């Protein structure tokens, strides 16, 4: 009896606030355990998704001459089909944030991967119109994934942002390299370009399956986080202190002056869903005005010079990258006397060279407050490769391709990292990602189309390479501005 009484009477009655804190901590530990359990599979899904975001372009480029001869199309059509990816990336990327808010980023990326596989399979079944339509569908899907995968990364891995973005960028390069290097040999082995290009749809099927499983595991956590954040928002909205002290901001949204950009960017994602969905105060501007009062931004990104610098940098590096992905084999065959198979392999090498750069550069640049030096150095490296192709193309084509690959491999992950480093919250990241990638890819369309048209008009590649040289000079200046330690 005594023992029983002791057991009953020593049980403490905790105050409500302490019980609430303990329950919250327990809930947070449960959510953290779910994150750890599902994070590895989600990283695998991100890698597989990234592997699919370049073969639609590089596989066609590797056999572009054969496609042109087989379909009997004009130089204008060829220029247009090389520009289709960037145009799609620009326009389709505009709808990505709306779709993510309606259905969730994870679900939308899964649907995009499924449509990508369908477009890749269908585009090789008939003539020029079907090829163009399938490319449009595939590249529109890629555009949506391009915008939303960085958002998924920032929401899911705020403490490992540099590492995961590096893996993602490396997988992008690896997928493009594989398609560029193996499509031309496949064309010879299977007896035609249609099957060689269409086989890349199989990689998309694998990505869809893995992504679906990863999303299913992450969905309960996502729903629990949204419910938890909704309760917090309701409590904050009813607290009288919120109205009396408008200058008090949640610590998770404050970037200390001594923090590096990486720390400031990742600290803002401690409560990712809260940042993304928090309601504005009654006196604040409507959500449509694209304001983020907690982070100090009260104007649209379209009025923000830094946002335009990030957009311009992303756009020009994409212009150059998709020019090489669309035309480098043709350029090497004409100006350097390289055979078709070797030209495709060299395009693959260009992409492979970017893999170690994509793995190394994001973790390094996120440790520094400014990234201007990186932008200038990578751009200058690529400039040397362009000058080599322009002035001494036959001297050492391999060297010129290596220089182009080192520069391009570093510039793309740097451009992606700018999107996360120059924004404080997940909401800002989503907006800046949509702006930079949508408008940036529209800028990038000038490259493949302009290079193709100049080649058609002049019959040579000098004017085309001069256009690329001019674009990269502008990129060097904009990269310096985008790399300074500021926030949109």
DSSP characters for 6-41?
HHHHTS----HHHHHHHHHHHHHHHHHHHHHHHHHH
Q: Is the pLDDT of residue 109 over 70?
A: yes
> Which 3-state string (H, E, C) describes 62-121?
HCHHHHHHHHCCCHHHHHHHHHHHHHHHHHHHHHHHHHHHHHCHHHHHHHHHHHHHHHHH
What are the two backbone dihedrals, phi and then psi, of residue 137, each rounded to the nearest 5 degrees? -65, -45
pLDDT of residue 448: 92
The mean pLDDT value for 59-68 works out to 86
pLDDT of residue 283: 31
More confident residue, 228 or 54: 54
pLDDT of residue 237: 58
Report the DSSP beta bridge partners of residue 292. Answer: 297
pLDDT of residue 1: 39
Q: Is the pLDDT of residue 377 over 90?
A: yes
Q: How far is CA 204 from CA 49, 112, 384, 423, in A?
A: 8, 10, 36, 31
Q: Which residues, in sequence order, are CB contacts of 9 under 8 Å at separation 6+?
A: none
H/E stretch holding 349: helix 340-365
Average pLDDT, the chain: 77
**pLDDT tens digits along 112-149:** 999 999 999 999 998 899 998 999 999 889 988 988 88
Which one, of 248, 325, 434, lies nearest residue 84 by Cα?
325
User: What span, in angstroms and rounded, lies between the C-alpha atoms of 225 and 213?
Assistant: 19
More confident residue, 433 or 23: 433
Q: How confident is the model at residue 395 (pLDDT cuts 50, 70, 90)?
A: very high
pLDDT of residue 297: 60
Crossing angle of helices 75-92 and 446-458, rounded to 10°: 170
pLDDT of residue 222: 54
Structure tokens that stand for 343 in this block? 């030209």
**Over pLDDT 70: what percentage of the chain?**
75
Structure tokens that stand for 387 in this block? 């000058």
**pLDDT tens digits along 309-337:** 999 999 999 999 999 988 998 899 899 98
Q: Is the pLDDT of residue 472 over 70?
A: yes
pLDDT of residue 379: 94
Q: How confident is the model at residue 231 (pLDDT cuts 50, 70, 90)?
A: low
pLDDT of residue 469: 95
Minimum mean pLDDT range among 195-209, 303-317, 344-358, 408-422: 344-358
Given phi > 0 = left and psi -120 to 50 = alpha, else beta, which region is 368? beta
User: What span, in angstroms and rounded, lies between the C-alpha atoms of 237 and 281?
Assistant: 9
pLDDT of residue 320: 94
Q: Is the pLDDT of residue 250 over 60?
A: no
Report CA 76 to chain centroid distance, whole Å: 29
Q: How confident is the model at residue 233 (pLDDT cuts 50, 70, 90)?
A: low
**pLDDT tens digits along 178-207:** 898 899 888 889 888 999 999 999 999 999
pLDDT of residue 433: 83
pLDDT of residue 234: 63
User: What span, in angstroms and rounded, lies between the C-alpha atoms of 46 and 358?
Assistant: 15
**HSE (side-chain half, CA atoms, 13 Å) at 165:** 30
Q: In 392-425, which residue ranges form alpha helices assigned H by DSSP?
A: 397-421
pLDDT of residue 236: 56
Minimum mean pLDDT range among 124-128, 288-292, 400-404: 288-292
The string of DSSP letters for 104-164 reads: -HHHHHHHHHHHHHHHHHHTTSSSHHHHHHHHHHHHHHHHHHHHHHHHHHHHH-GGGHHHH
């Amino acid at each position: 009896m005594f023992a029983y009484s002791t057991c009953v009477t020593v049980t403490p009655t905790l105050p409500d606030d302490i019980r609430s804190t303990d329950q919250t901590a327990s809930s947070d530990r449960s959510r953290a355990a779910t994150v750890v359990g599902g994070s590895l599979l989600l990283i695998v899904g991100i890698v597989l998704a990234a592997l699919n975001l370049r073969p639609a372009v590089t596989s066609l480029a590797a056999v572009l001459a054969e496609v042109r001869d087989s379909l009997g199309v004009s130089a204008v059509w060829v220029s247009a089909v090389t520009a289709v990816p960037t145009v799609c990336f620009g326009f389709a990327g505009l709808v990505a944030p709306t779709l993510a808010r309606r259905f969730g980023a994870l679900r939308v990326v899964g649907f995009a991967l499924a449509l990508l596989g369908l477009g890749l399979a269908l585009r090789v079944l008939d003539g020029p119109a079907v090829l163009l339509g399938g490319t449009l569908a595939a590249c529109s899907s890629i555009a949506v994934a391009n915008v939303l995968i960085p958002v998924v990364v920032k929401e899911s891995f705020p403490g490992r942002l540099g590492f995961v973005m590096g893996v993602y960028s490396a997988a992008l390069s690896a997928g493009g390299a594989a398609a560029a290097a193996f499509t031309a040999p496949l064309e010879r082995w299977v007896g035609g370009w249609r099957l060689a290009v269409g086989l890349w749809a199989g990689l998309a099927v694998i990505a869809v399956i893995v992504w679906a499983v990863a999303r299913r595991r992450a969905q309960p956590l996502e729903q629990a986080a949204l419910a938890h954040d909704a309760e917090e928002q309701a409590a904050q909205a009813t607290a009288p202190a919120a109205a009396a002290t408008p200058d008090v901001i949640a610590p998770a949204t404050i970037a200390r002056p001594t923090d590096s950009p990486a720390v400031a960017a990742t600290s803002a994602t401690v409560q990712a869903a809260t940042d993304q969905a928090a309601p504005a105060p009654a006196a604040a501007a409507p959500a449509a005005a694209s304001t983020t009062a907690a982070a100090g931004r009260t104007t649209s990104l379209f009025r923000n010079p830094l946002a335009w610098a990030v957009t311009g940098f992303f756009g020009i590096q994409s212009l150059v990258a998709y020019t090489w992905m669309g035309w480098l084999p043709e350029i090497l065959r004409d100006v350097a006397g390289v055979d078709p198979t070797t030209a495709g392999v060299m395009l693959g090498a260009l992409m492979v060279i970017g893999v170690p750069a994509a793995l190394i550069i994001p973790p390094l640049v996120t440790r520094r407050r400014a990234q201007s030096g990186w932008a200038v150095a990578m751009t200058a490296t690529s400039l040397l490769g362009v000058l080599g192709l322009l002035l001494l193309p036959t001297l050492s084509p391999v060297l010129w391709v290596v220089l182009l690959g080192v520069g391009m491999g570093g510039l793309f992950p740097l451009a992606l990292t700018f999107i996360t480093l120059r924004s404080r919250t997940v909401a800002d990241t989503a907006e800046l990602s949509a702006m930079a990638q949508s408008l940036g890819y529209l800028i990038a369309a000038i490259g493949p189309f302009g290079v193709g048209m100049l080649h058609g008009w002049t019959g040579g590649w000098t004017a085309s390479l001069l256009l690329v040289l001019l674009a990269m000079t502008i990129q060097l200046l904009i990269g310096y501005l985008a790399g300074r330690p500021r926030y949109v």
